[in-house]
Structure 1
Amino acid sequence: MQIDFHHGVTYILARLAGFSREQAQIIAHSAQYVDDATKEGVVKFDNYSMFRCIASAHKAVDYRNFEALKNHLVWIPFHFLPGNQVSGYKGVPEFVERIICRPNSEVAQAMVAKCIRDRSHKHSIYRLGITMHVFADTWAHQGFAGISHPVNIVNNILNWRGEIDYDLNDRVDDFYNRPYWKALVNKFKSVFLKEVAPLGHGTVLSYPDRPYLKWKYEDFRGHVVERNNPETYMDAVVHLHKAMGRFLNGDHRHEPPPMKDHDLATIKEMIEGTTDDDGEIRHQKWLQAIADGKFSFGAESVVYVPTGAGSWRHRALGTEIEDLTEQLFIYSQEFLDSDWKLFHDAISNHRHVILHELLPEFGLSAA
């Protein structure tokens, strides 16, 4: 999913679930910031204090995408949560089958339950946003795995009528033939001692992440898989709303009241009707709908500033510099309560819980 859903729709669902404006802003910001937190390292202060932040995403062109451990530390806990299902694919190791992402899987439900049980933590509302990002992606990223493996191979992309979508296939070929990809391979050729299998849904670019699309593809077995994104996204909408209602109640088994019909219909109409290729444009249309009061919580102004002046990092550290490890910062006690610090506390906590508690409970050792 992209910023239109992770930020805009998540904000709407948080408000409809009963969170305040301020809480919904944090939840939605955290959900989207999972995709934007690409820097990691140690922040150093003038009083010898330190703070380590980790990355929850990689840039699109990042050689770390091809390093197995980096994939297991980022893509699996934050973007391609294992579904733990075994279908008996011929020639595919059982572990690989089990880490293929599945919508609303038992693993995903257990992740949400753990988040709810830990809601007394200071950073719990930030972790809820992170959890909602991962939970939502189990719908969009279903059928793909957060590792480099042939199970992610797509032979053909088809339109809804089952015809080969030559436009998209050409776009995929063009993307991987661009000079920076070729330069990347040459620069880090030691990584490519053997053929590199595709990671995640890279072979279909952003098709799974565009809410309005209906399409098909031939998977690694040659089987045609139908993807009705509007239907899939609406299923995610219902479950994210329910999960946030359960968080407010404090019980992962609680059945909160459903969304009002008007709100559900408005979300459905926008998911199906907002058809811009650019996720940023779709995002602005969602924010405008919120500002226009199209939902039952009324008209509200919502913004998202990922970097630079006004961003969480800028407010916490007072800098717009990208590489935080090259500067010595003046320490302030307020840093401990800053959104940026609490988000990174939540990111670290989430990754630990997924990799060292949740997945081992299902017999999976991912990192």
Structure 2
Amino acid sequence: MQIDFHHGVTYVVARLAGFDHDSANIVAYSAQYVDDAINTGLIRFDNGALFSRISSAHKMLDYRNFKELANHYVWVPFHFLPGNGGLPADQDPPGTFIEKLICRPNSYVAQDMVRECINQRHHPYGIYRLGVTMHVYADTWAHQGFAGISHRVNEATCLIDQQGQPDHKLGNRLKNFFIGEALPLGHGTVLSNPDKPFLRWGYTNGRGEKIVRDNPSDFLAAADCMCQAMQRYRLGNPEAMVPGLQEFDKRRIAELFETIRDEKGEVRHQRWLAAIADGIFSFGPATVTYTSKGKGSWKYEALKTESEVDRDHEVFPYSPAFLTSHWKLVHDALQAHRFHIVHELLPKYRICIA
């Protein structure tokens, strides 16, 4: 999924789950920031203080950079959560280990991830972790059938469009995109097809199976399950019976998935923000913005830097306010999320990835 869903739709769903404007802003910003946290390493301050942060994405999500992107610490915990074949923790899917790594929508693994996020809501970074979790949770629908490692299971051929006809346009783009004999990583072989809310398409996967995808239906299911997860978060009860999206707003979201058909995620994002400002949802009009780097961003507020990529050994001005800044707390959330996924949750499913 792209910024239109991870920020725009996440804000809408957070409001519909009962969060106020400011809290929904934090959830939505944190969700999108997963795709924008491209720097890793130490932050050095002029008073000698240090802060260690991690990256949850790589610049431009460049699927061609296989050596850099075949990184279990980024792709698996943040973008292609292993689905264990859609089975609970005490069962293994038939086949080899790769079957456990393939992403599955709303898998038991994903539900356990959400449950842990709710149980840990008392931390200062709790609501930021909710945003991170919602990013990963939503991607289990968009990235289903693909794995976050370089493997032939991710191969896709015989691409078809909405009419079931060969998608020559995408095929021609792919000819110029991949080089050499590198194995495909994630859904790189179908570029951004899984991330576009309006698209209906298909392909033949690495096993020779014909796959038909209906993104509008999948994305709507993701939004509804996210609403339920956030309603449970507000209640502090991961097992609570909650309604999810109400029919009025569900229809509005479904309509925008179908009618906002711009190819670029940034353009679709602006149209979602315009719809929110117009007050088409039951929570009324709201002004929502997102800036990943530079003035107006969380990073600028915390570090007073406008740089997209930090220079080695750069020294930043320290303020006591840094400890409670949005940027520091979202990075705390990223670290807590990754540690839990890699070292606690996946081993429960007999999955060791790092």
Instruction: State the TM bucket, normalised to the shorter chain.
Output: over 0.9
Aligned residues: 346
- Distance in 2, matches of 1:163 and 1:62, equals 26
- Matched with 1:71 is 71
Contact 2:63 2:188 in 1 (8 A): no
Partner SS state of residue 218, structure 1: strand
- Distance in 1, matches of 2:25 and 2:263, equals 25
Match of 2:200 among 179, 195, 214: 214
Q: 1:65 to 1:27 in 2, by over 3 A?
A: farther
Deviation at 1:324, TM superposition (A): 4.9
- Distance in 2, matches of 1:204 and 1:154, equals 7
Partner SS state of residue 157, structure 1: strand
- Distance in 1, matches of 2:228 and 2:46, equals 45
Whether 1:360 aligns to 2:354 is no
Within 5 Å, give how 1:29-44 maps onto structure 2: 29-44=29-44
- Matched with 2:176 is 174
- Matched with 1:162 is 164
- Matched with 1:191 is none
Match of 2:212 among 210, 226, 241: 226
> Once the two structures are superposed, what CA deviation does each residue of 1:279-303 show, in whole Å capped at 9, x if it has no partner?
1111001000000000011100000
Q: 1:258 to 1:41 in 2, by over 3 A?
A: closer
Partner SS state of residue 159, structure 2: strand
- Matched with 1:336 is 323
- Distance in 1, matches of 2:111 and 2:352, equals 18
Deviation at 1:220, TM superposition (A): 0.8
Query: What's the TM-score once normalised by structure 1's chain length?
Result: 0.91
Whether 1:304 aligns to 2:290 is yes
Report the residue type matching 2:298 in the other structure.
W
Q: 1:145 to 1:326 in 2, by over 3 A?
A: same
> Once the two structures are superposed, what CA deviation does each residue of 1:313-361 show, in whole Å capped at 9, x if it has no partner?
1110111133154321221110000111001010011000000010011
- Distance in 1, matches of 2:202 and 2:32, equals 27
Q: 1:316 to 1:134 in 2, by over 3 A?
A: same
Q: 1:62 to 1:196 in 2, by over 3 A?
A: closer
- Between the aligned residues of both structures, percent identity stands at 51
Deviation at 1:262, TM superposition (A): 1.2
- Distance in 2, matches of 1:64 and 1:42, equals 24
Match of 1:250 among 232, 236, 248: 236
Match of 2:276 among 290, 294, 299: 290
In structure 2, stretches of 5+ residues that fail to align are: 86-91
Whether 1:97 aligns to 2:102 is no
- Distance in 1, matches of 2:347 and 2:263, equals 39
Query: Which deviates the most, 268-277 or 152-161?
Result: 152-161
Report the residue type matching 1:3 in the other structure.
I
- Distance in 2, matches of 1:141 and 1:330, equals 40
- Distance in 2, matches of 1:358 and 1:226, equals 30
Deviation at 1:270, TM superposition (A): 0.2
Report the residue type matching 2:18 in the other structure.
G
- Distance in 1, matches of 2:57 and 2:66, equals 10
- Distance in 2, matches of 1:22 and 1:65, equals 38
Deviation at 1:258, TM superposition (A): 3.3
- Distance in 2, matches of 1:63 and 1:277, equals 20
Deviation at 1:62, TM superposition (A): 7.7
- Distance in 1, matches of 2:295 and 2:145, equals 39
- Distance in 2, matches of 1:274 and 1:246, equals 30
Q: 1:246 to 1:366 in 2, by over 3 A?
A: same
Q: 1:286 to 1:63 in 2, by over 3 A?
A: closer
Partner SS state of residue 36, structure 1: coil
- Matched with 1:350 is 337
- What stretches of structure 1 move > 4 A for 4+ residues in a row? none
RMSD: 1.5
Query: What's the TM-score once normalised by structure 2's chain length?
Result: 0.94
- Distance in 2, matches of 1:342 and 1:299, equals 28
Within 5 Å, give how 1:103-142 maps onto structure 2: 103-142=105-144
- Matched with 1:179 is none
- Distance in 1, matches of 2:186 and 2:66, equals 10
Q: 1:64 to 1:333 in 2, by over 3 A?
A: farther
Report the residue type matching 1:253 in the other structure.
E
